Amino acid sequence: MIAEFHYQIAWRSRSAHPGHHKSAHAGGGFEFYGHASLLSYPDPRHLDVHATLNDPFGQFMVRTFRQRSAIPVYVIADLSASMMFHDKLERLADFAAAVAYSAYRTGDPFGFIGGDSQLRWELFLPLRWYRGVALELYDRLRSLQPTGSGTAGLAQAAEYLGAQRALVFLASDFHVPLAELSTLLDTLIHHDVIPVVLWDSREYRHLPPWGLMQFIDAETGQQRRVLMRPDLRHRFLRAFVRRRRELRRLFMNHGREPFFLIDRFEADALTRYFYQA
């Protein structure tokens, strides 16, 4: 079953399509916007007697309200080979399907863009109001066999987001240099970007204190045999703690707290992320 979460934005949508979110447009909502003459907004149901009596020009005045509007919602996903580590790709499938389903339930259009060193057009979903795409996206991502390296292709994604401000979920393990990541975030500066950090605790937390281990770089194919010992295990743990702190600082400097998705996706945790911020 596809999970659903709830999200909100702090900015006003400029979309003309009715929806769930705060809007910059006047319309048939419930948020009071101001007063206008009856000639400008011919809706006598909202006639304001007090404002009419106080109008210096003697015009009939009506109350105006802001409408609620839709917003574009995207997932931009890292599909490089590093996402093959254990269940990362399955967690990405869970998450992306949940975004697609939640956008549909909220009344927002949804789009999906994935890539590694280049964009993966076979998985591209243009921005639309989809009905049953969540399960299809889930199946396509679960059956994917990533072989590419890097995330350079994701820097092209901004070209396909359109000019209207969008809510963008940027999902990756972010095992890339911080300078490269900062450049990627700069390309998305006009949008509301939610960084979703996909990690697996077996990468660092569940390493044995002793033993001969073989590490394989999924993107380069390079292998290295290491004698694991307590001090080296602690160095791995400290490196991930330091990386988490660096990522948080970088993302906060670009406007958003990251959402860490470790081991499994919990829709309620993502809802709390939006409503406790």
pLDDT attached to residue 265: 95
The CATH number of 73-275 is 3.40.50
The domain locations on the chain are 18-69, 73-275
- Of the ranges 53-57, 66-70, 75-79, 133-137, which one carries the lowest mean pLDDT score? 66-70
Q: CA 64 to CA 29: how far, in whole Å?
A: 9
- Asked if the model's pLDDT at residue 65 lies above 70, the reply is no
Q: What is the pLDDT of residues 50-62, one digit of tens each?
A: 777 777 887 887 6
| pLDDT at position 63 | 67
Q: What is the pLDDT of residues 245-260, one digit of tens each?
A: 999 999 999 989 999 9
Share of the chain above pLDDT 70, in %: 78
Rounded to two decimals, what is the model's pTM?
A: 0.80
